[in-house]
Structure 1
Amino acid sequence: MNYMDENIIGLSIVLPIYNDAAAVSRFLPELFTFTSRQKKTCEIILVDDGSTDHLTATYEQLKQQLPTNTALRLVQFSRNFGKEAALTAGLEQSQGELVIMMDADGQHPVSVLEQMLTLMHTSNVDVVAAVQTSREHEGLLIRTLKNGFYHFMQDTHRFELTPNAGDFRLMKRRVVQALLQLPERQRFMKGLYAWVGFSTVYIPFQASPRQMGKSKFNYLSLFELALIGITSFSQRPLRWISRMGMIISLLALVYGLYIVADTLFFGKDLAGWPTLAAGIMFSAGIQLVCLGVIGEYIGRIYEEVKQRPLYLVDKVWDSREQK
């Protein structure tokens, strides 16, 4: 069935962008070639996460190359709110029966998108997610840290995070609506995908080399994202604090009994100052670590109760309204 009514959108493609105008200008023509072959009307949603480059001019140029069955929309934030907010904005703006999220730098191959669509149409699933088969372009340290993070986050009693499965996924409309029902401001999208559930199949893919530019994620931003994920989806650190407190208390009791027995039965004098100083420093260090962990959870609560919007939109450009 061939839908050419622009009010009926078959596929929405969401691209979060931050200072990647040059990469977008190279990647979108390839995406236009793909959408031009689709039977249903498509829309491409560019979410500008506070970019400082010439993305608006790039949008105007690309608009002239649009296939007849494709709409192009540019959503500009008032400032940089982060990729998780940009993804959420794209989902909220989308109107398609199916929604795909991709990186705008060309690392998510269009050929894989075609495979995902075929699998979606030929099987009874709600989500088709792509999993990177190799991360050799990343250093050993970052790969080790990521593997440790995924291992720590697993909660097989409720949901499970699939390692190396990111935002490159195709979803039916009901999955998108379920994600948009989740109200949290501190969003960890990989956790939210797992939490909502629905039938999901995974396909392997190899990320293409970046067409230009460099990744906006560094160790600090990845660490912050990991903290959001842990405090949003895991109570293990809090449980570990309780267990650590019980273990330290038990060790202190055993050591105290040893000191009493050693003094009463053997008459040994206890070297007071070194032992006292070491014990105080150890105890203070443990307390500060525990307070820091608890503070992270309280900080997330503080951000949530303020009920600030996840992002603010400065302007929306739509090729359908500008015709």
Structure 2
Amino acid sequence: MEMEKLSLVVPCYNEEQSIPLFFAAVEKIRTALTNTTIEYIFVNDGSRDHTLTVLREMAKDYPDSIRYLSFSRNFGKEAALYAGLEHATGDYVAVMDVDLQDPPELLPQMLHLIRDESYDCVGTRRINRTGEPPIRSFLAKEFYRVMNRISDVKFVDGARDYRLMTRQMVDAVLSMTEVNRFSKGIFSWVGFDTKYLEFENKERVAGKSSWSVWSLFKYSLDAIVDFSDIPLALASFVGLASFIIAVFFMIVIVIRTVLFDDPTAGWPSLVTIILAIGGLQLFCLGIVGKYLGKTYLETKKRPIYILKETDKKQKK
């Protein structure tokens, strides 16, 4: 069989300790990847530690297999994934986290499923969230439940970004050039035959996660806006419902005044109603504003990332 190339796209943010451990772990299973050469593409997403220094040294030591991309600042994991996919040259491309929460030992099985069973993509999903804070696990589970109700795109509970894709699927993902990206949704939206492998949750091998509960919450809001217009419909429904309720109470007040000579009492009720209606209006405006803001950012046509340095060339 002709040798094929496997590209591993690995976003890195303050991961100087994890990178050597990740490289060693993948090298251990290299012999199980038959008739395959490996291309590592590490993407330094504006790290503030010595991540870039580690990548420079490793690229010198392994010039035939290790490549790195370094951004001018932190653009986020989604931009790092896109940059890695854009620079990957392999016949197959895998996306992995450098902290070894994505087990490299699954790669041989993933490659087998694509080669021999004609899948276009093999993804992974965690069957538990052992070691995570309970509130984070609860919010993640609820996020997938809500997304599957309000979006036409199917979201697999516990799915990771960790997946192996054919070149055809990678090209399809790269054809979606929006700045506001949610990769799990994009991977599902482009379609293609996908199989998911399950595995037990694994702890980070070094360092700590840069994802807080708040940042994950904001990320989930972006996902909802990117893949569902239900919040806009909800805003319309809230507006219509508040109008109907207001008309109903207006009729009640008129009837009480005309038939029972019992006018509505003073300002407390009036202030309460004004505050309630005003709050609903601001809520609906916030939903519309979120969509409008996303549209505004897309119309600017800004690049998804800015590359400052690679293993091939450094800008001065």
TM surpasses 0.5:
yes
2: distance between equivalents of 1:276 and 1:88?
53
Partner of 2:278: 284
Structure 1 unaligned regions, length at least 5: 4-8
For 2:245, give the aligned amino acid. L
Q: Distance in 1 between matches of 2:285 and 2:91?
A: 46
Q: Does 1:53 align with 2:46?
A: no
Which aligned pairs between 1:225-236 and structure 2 lie closer than 5 A? 225-236=219-230
* Cα pair 2:44 2:52 within 8 Å, conserved: no
Deviations for 1:78-137, whole angstroms, at most 9, x for unmatched residues?
110000000000000101111101100111111122221222223121010000010122
SS at match of 2:123: strand
Please say if residues 151 and 228 of structure 2, whose CA atoms lie closer than 8 Å, have aligned partners that are also in contact.
no
Over the aligned positions, Cα root-mean-square deviation in angstroms equals: 1.9
Q: 2:130–2:201: 8 Å Cα contact kept in structure 1?
A: no
Secondary structure of the residue that 1:143 maps to in structure 2?
helix
1:10 maps to which residue?
A: 5
Give the structure 2 partner of residue 200 of structure 1: 194
2:208 to 192, 211, 214: 214
Percent identity over the alignment? 37
| Secondary structure of the structure 2 residue equivalent to 1:249 | helix
The counterpart of 1:113, out of the listed 107, 117, 140, is 107
For residues 243 and 42 of structure 1, do their structure 2 counterparts lie closer, same or farther at Cα, with a shift above 3 Å needed? same
Displacement of 1:169: 0.6
Task: State the 1:60 CA deviation.
Answer: 4.3
Matched, 1:307 2:282: no
> What is the Cα deviation at residue 61 of structure 1?
4.0
8 Å contact kept, 2:56–2:311: no
Q: Secondary structure at the match of 1:10?
A: strand
State the SS of the aligned residue for 1:209: coil
Alpha-carbon distance in structure 2 between the residues aligned to 1:221 and 1:32: 33
In the alignment, the residues of structure 1 paired with residue 140 and residue 150 of structure 2 have an alpha-carbon distance, to the nearest angstrom, of 18
2:94 alignment partner, SS class: strand
Q: Secondary structure at the match of 2:8?
A: strand
Quote the residue 1:6 is aligned against.
none
Aligned length: 312
Aligned partner of 1:92 among 86, 92, 106: 86
TM-score by length of 2: 0.93
Q: State whether residues 119 and 128 of structure 1, in contact with CA within 8 Å, keep that contact through their aligned partners in structure 2.
A: yes
